[in-house]
Amino acid sequence: MLRKVFSKLKVATIHFLLVLIIGLFVAVPFFSELKNKVASSELLLNMYRSSLESEISRYKFLPFILSQNDKINKMLSGEFDPVSSGYFLQRIKYATNVSTIYVLDKNGRAVASSNWHDPESYTGKNFGFRPYFKEAMAGRLGQFYGIGIVSSTPGFFIAYGLKSDDTIIGAVAIEIHLTDLETVWRSGPDDILVSDVNDVIFLSSNESWKHKSFGKSGASIDDNPAALDRFNNGVTNPIAQKICYRIGDITFYKNPLFSCIFPEKLSLKEEIVEFGWTIHSIQSARYIYNSVALIVSISVLLYLTLIFLYRNITNKYNRSIQKIRNQLLENSKLAAIGQMATEVAHEFNQPLSAIYMLLDTSRLLLKRKRYHDVDDNLVLISSHIEKLTQQISELKGFASRHRVPRGKANIVSAANASIRLFQLTLKKHNVKLFLQVRHDDIQVPCNEIGLEQIFSNLITNALEAMGDQSDKVIVIMIVRVKGRVIVKVRDNGCGIPDPTKIFESFYSTKQRGTGLGLAIVNGIVENSDGTISVRNHPKGGAEFTVSWSEWREEQADSTETPN
């Protein structure tokens, strides 16, 4: 019973993971699209922030410039009547496109203003309690956003002190309106709002949000006297936006119906540090849910399609598997015969070439009556024929298993024997061969035939790699290192274009090569528990490295020598 439950649970888990992987795959383009939308909103928000700062920066230094005008300073001394002063300030107002310009004495009373002729004239009104006036009288640039006490219109006020003999005797102030920015924001895709340090919204593309607090849902604005004073007690309770959580720079807000499971809105924000303001971009989270719904729909559709295809392919596979097995059985027999024929042809080529070379040399020696050298050649020919006989005996079992060159042999003797076979060829092609070895008897777990095949193939490969170049050198080095025997065979030829493929069967860098020599070497080394690698030497040419564990007597009991 439990086994069935676990089996069903395993299948359900696999299907769930499959749907999850498909969903993640499908979500990649949608995720990129969401990132682009967020990046676009961030760029737009940055543009809005820059436009707000730019609008204020246009007038930031105007009060300072006006403070340098002698007529402005003389207004405080009474040299100009309010009407003359009003006309003068009115001309500056139209020239600079500000809302109002007015001059305050040291007590904060307006002695002149550009709106002197309006019913809501600032002339005679006292602004001494305003923060911007206090900052100006302290010798700093005063900046303040709030609702005008006379006009009841929100505006941004900038003031700078007026000096007489290095003593501040009053201030000149300007008022600018930022409502034009709100008009621009309303044409955008998102709701934009700007809140002050008290979290009171004073600029917004949504008119109903203005003069409300933001980010403190549930708390009464009556607890914030500074905000009440700034907006002349015109601040109402917060807009209903309760924060659920934040992911990176994005804030999500509670949904009245689904709480924080499916947030209703999200916002991005940027700080305007100079004024302690924060500009927010609020947008609906609906497009995220639309994307998620689309991802789920596509994922389920792909999942069902894959299941349908899998079942069809599985049925077809089950119907044809037996037929394929029968074909593979026949093909394996043919492949075994072909591989055996290939190995026989290649492995017999080396000793037959040596026998041909020795016979040709013996004919020359007979003409010169060097019978002793002829006898040496005949001994070598006899040894090669004996080795061929042994190889034929080993190939009898090829159809059932691969030849394993197990046993032990003296690798130094095998190297010397292989070098003797190539003496005439080396001399004929002006090749210098150096054997570097410190010991005469180094035993490795590979029989003599296998070792001589390894050296013969590596030397032949080196000779062919050096081609017709003038200076030809082959270096064979045999060393012991921490219980291992390492053989390095290096030439100064052209190197190997792709060392990673050199041991693959039928891969050859020569036009007439069979691509089997190094593959057979690799097989002999691996079957005798050795390793082989190749690299292009920094000084040129290729360097083959063969390594075995040095033969120990205790290995004799566990090693089988093939028939």
State what percent of residues in the chain have pLDDT above 90.
15
Average pLDDT over residues 494-518: 72
Domain boundary, last residue among 107, 138, 171: 171
Determine, yes or no, domain membership for 385: no
Q: Tell me, yes or no, whether 545 and 411 share the same domain.
A: yes
Domain boundary, last residue among 243, 271, 288: 288
Domain boundary, last residue among 171, 194, 209: 171
Residue pair 559/528 in contact by the 8 Å Cβ criterion: no
Residue pair 108/127 in contact by the 8 Å Cβ criterion: yes
pLDDT tens-digit series, residues 259-309? 788 887 888 888 888 888 888 888 888 878 888 888 888 888 888 888 888
Measured in whole angstroms, the distance separating CA 102 from the mean position of its chain's CA atoms is: 60
Q: Tell me, yes or no, whether 45 and 165 share the same domain.
A: yes
Residue pair 282/193 in contact by the 8 Å Cβ criterion: yes
Looking at residue 222, its pLDDT comes to 46
Q: Tell me, yes or no, whether 40 and 113 share the same domain.
A: yes
Q: Tell me, yes or no, whether 204 and 133 share the same domain.
A: no
Domain of 204, CATH number, reads: 3.30.450.20
| Of the candidate ranges 176-180, 376-380, 400-404, 553-557, the one whose mean pLDDT is the lowest | 400-404
Looking at residue 420, its pLDDT comes to 87
d(C-alpha 131, C-alpha 230), whole Å: 9
Residue pair 205/220 in contact by the 8 Å Cβ criterion: no
What domain range includes position 93?
12-171
243 or 74, higher pLDDT? 74
Q: How confident is the model at residue 109 (pLDDT cuts 50, 70, 90)?
A: very high
Q: 3-state DSSP call for residue 443?
A: strand
How many domains does one find in the chain?
A: 3
Q: How confident is the model at residue 314 (pLDDT cuts 50, 70, 90)?
A: confident
Domain of 533, CATH number, reads: 3.30.565.10
State what percent of residues in the chain have pLDDT above 70.
83
Q: How confident is the model at residue 233 (pLDDT cuts 50, 70, 90)?
A: very low
Q: Tell me, yes or no, whether 132 and 262 share the same domain.
A: no
Determine, yes or no, domain membership for 106: yes
Looking at residue 322, its pLDDT comes to 64
Q: Tell me, yes or no, whether 275 and 153 share the same domain.
A: no
Closest CA to 141 of 241, 226, 62: 62
d(C-alpha 105, C-alpha 75), whole Å: 9
Determine, yes or no, domain membership for 147: yes
For residue 418, pLDDT beyond 60: yes
Q: Tell me, yes or no, whether 140 and 269 share the same domain.
A: no
Q: Tell me, yes or no, whether 248 and 160 share the same domain.
A: no
| Of the candidate ranges 344-348, 407-411, 549-553, the one whose mean pLDDT is the lowest | 344-348
Task: For the beta carbon of residue 233, count every other beta carbon within 10 angstroms.
Answer: 12
| CA distances from residue 203 to 53, 138, 183 in whole angstroms, order as listed | 13, 28, 11
For residue 172, pLDDT beyond 80: yes
248 or 51, higher pLDDT? 51
| Of the candidate ranges 61-75, 330-344, 363-377, 398-412, the one whose mean pLDDT is the lowest | 330-344
Q: Tell me, yes or no, whether 239 and 271 share the same domain.
A: yes
Taking phi first (over 0 means left), then psi (-120 to 50 degrees means alpha), and beta for anything else, what does residue 232 get?
A: left
Determine, yes or no, domain membership for 323: no
Q: Tell me, yes or no, whether 25 and 121 share the same domain.
A: yes
Looking at residue 557, its pLDDT comes to 52
Q: Tell me, yes or no, whether 34 and 129 share the same domain.
A: yes
What is the per-residue DSSP string for 510-561? STT--S-HHHHHHHHHHHTT-EEEEEE-TTSSEEEEEEEEPP-GGGGGG---
Q: Tell me, yes or no, whether 207 and 228 share the same domain.
A: yes
Task: For the beta carbon of residue 130, count every other beta carbon within 10 angstroms.
Answer: 22
Looking at residue 260, its pLDDT comes to 81
